[in-house]
Amino acid sequence: MSNSRKVVIIGSGPAGCTAAIYSARAGLEPLMFAGVMMGGQLMTTTDVENFPGFPEAVAGPELMDRMRRQCERLGVSIVQELVSRVGLSRRPFRLETTEGKTASAEALIVATGAEARWLGLESEHRLKGHGVSACATCDGFFFKGKEVCVVGGSDSALEEALFLARFAAKVTVVHRRDRLRASKAMQDKARGQPKLAWVWDSVVLEVLGTDSVAGLRVKNVKTGEARDLACQGLFVAVGHVPNTGFLAGQLKLDENGYIVTDGRCRASVEGVFAAGDVMDPHYRQAVTSAGNGCIAALEAERFLSSHE
């Protein structure tokens, strides 16, 4: 297999897969670096109810399996390795994986997504995997009949809380303000779940416990008062950070590390395109990522034909 391609795609979530499908159908024989785990963040999601075409909902991993099979059927070359370095100073662009594999690309589509943000507490770091998690679908099952806390006030936090309520005896949502950021539909769902309790205007000072989580010390930001909440698990859902570290300053990023694009998925270097959560801090939906992947592939095709 030649790794010298017209189009190389980094990332294998909805954005990367859609870019690959469109590039393959345009006859560009794309190569996709899928990362260590193919499928991106939807691999750790339960039911996806808002992806058109699935009236009964579809499990995240199944949706991604379907996208992978669609890519394979259309002839996309998939390499399950992580790109660790890119050279974007001239074309063809150069890529290198953590396993030492190299590739070159006339056009590059970056669709590396984002990953969970943490609170940044020493106790949180120490107890990761011992009751502290950022993925309810991965770890929720371990908290059957127990009490857990979820930190955050947006859609992800409520999604995590609702999922945890299937197993846990009680789920306390700790939010730093007195108003949720989550969509109304999600708020209505959460408020109707009797296992959920709410702690408003509060930030986490410390995760309590030596070998496993024993509780949470929180502080009310309005009164300054600190108190301890009993729980055996903490799920952190305070947003995401884009996976752009490997770009090492070669593309223009915004202040939060997202790739800056021009509205047509074109990044700051000619011939480089970006799609999905790595360039979109606002919507983060599977369907918007897929839409961006399509735009990026169409723009890459246009770019290549204008440079031939």
- In the complex, minimum distance from the CB of residue 266 to ligand NDP, in angstroms, rounded to a whole number: 23
Closest distance of CB 274 from ligand NDP, Å: 17
Q: Which of 16, 113, 152, 293 binds ligand NDP (CB under 6 A)?
A: 152
Of 240, 265, 274, 296, the residue at the interface with ligand NDP (CB under 6 A) is 240
Q: Which of residues 277-306 bind ligand NDP (CB under 6 A)?
A: 283-284
The yes or no reply on residue 257 touching ligand NDP (CB under 6 A) is: no
CA distance 151 to 298: 39
Tell whether residue 77 is a contact of ligand NDP (CB under 6 A). no
* Residue 136 main-chain phi, psi, to 5 deg: -65, -40
- Does 217 help bind ligand NDP (rule: CB under 6 A)? no
**24/199 with CB nearer ligand NDP:** 199
Query: From residue 100 to residue 119, what is the string marking binding to ligand NDP with x (rule CB under 6 A)?
Result: -------------------x
Residue 202 binds to ligand NDP (criterion: CB under 6 A): no
- Of 239, 241, 302, 304, the one binding ligand NDP (CB under 6 A) is 239
Distance CA 249, CA 237 (A): 28
Q: Give the Cβ contact number of residue 188 at 10 Å.
A: 10
Find the length of the chain. 308
In the complex, the smallest distance separating the C-beta of residue 159 from ligand NDP, rounded to whole angstroms, is: 5
Is residue 294 annotated as a catalytic residue, yes or no?
Answer: no
The nearest distance, CB 183 to ligand NDP, in angstroms, is: 6
Which one of residues 41, 97, 133, 156 is an interface residue with ligand NDP (CB under 6 A)?
156
Q: Does 242 bind ligand NDP (CB under 6 A)?
A: no
138 is catalytic: yes
Which range in 55-63, 235-243, 262-270, 289-297 contacts ligand NDP by CB under 6 A?
A: 235-243
Regarding 15 and contact with ligand NDP (CB under 6 A), the answer is no
- Which of 28, 105, 151, 247 touches ligand NDP (CB under 6 A)? 151
Residue 11 touching ligand NDP (CB under 6 A):
no
DSSP states of the chain: ---EEEEEEE--SHHHHHHHHHHHHTT---EEE--SSTTGGGGG--EE-SSTT-TT-EEHHHHHHHHHHHHHHTT-EEE---EEEEE-SSSSEEEEETTS-EEEEEEEEE---EEE-----HHHHHTBTTTEES-HHHHGGGGTT-EEEEE--SHHHHHHHHHHTTT-SEEEEE-SSSS--S-HHHHHHHHT-TTEEEE-SEEEEEEE-SSS--EEEEEETTT--EEEEE-SEEEE-S-EEES-GGGTTSS-B-TTSPBP--SSSB-SSTTEEE-GGGT-SS---HHHHHHHHHHHHHHHHHHHHHT-
- Among 17, 47, 65, 135, the active-site one is 135
State how far Cα 112 lies from the chain centre.
9
Regarding 125 and contact with ligand NDP (CB under 6 A), the answer is no
Q: One of 17, 71, 139, 155 is an active-site residue; which one?
A: 139
Active-site residue 71, yes or no?
Answer: no
Give the footprint of ligand NDP on this chain (CB under 6 A). Answer: 119, 151-157, 159, 176-177, 181, 183, 203, 238-240, 283-284
Q: Which residues are catalytic, by number?
A: 135, 138-139
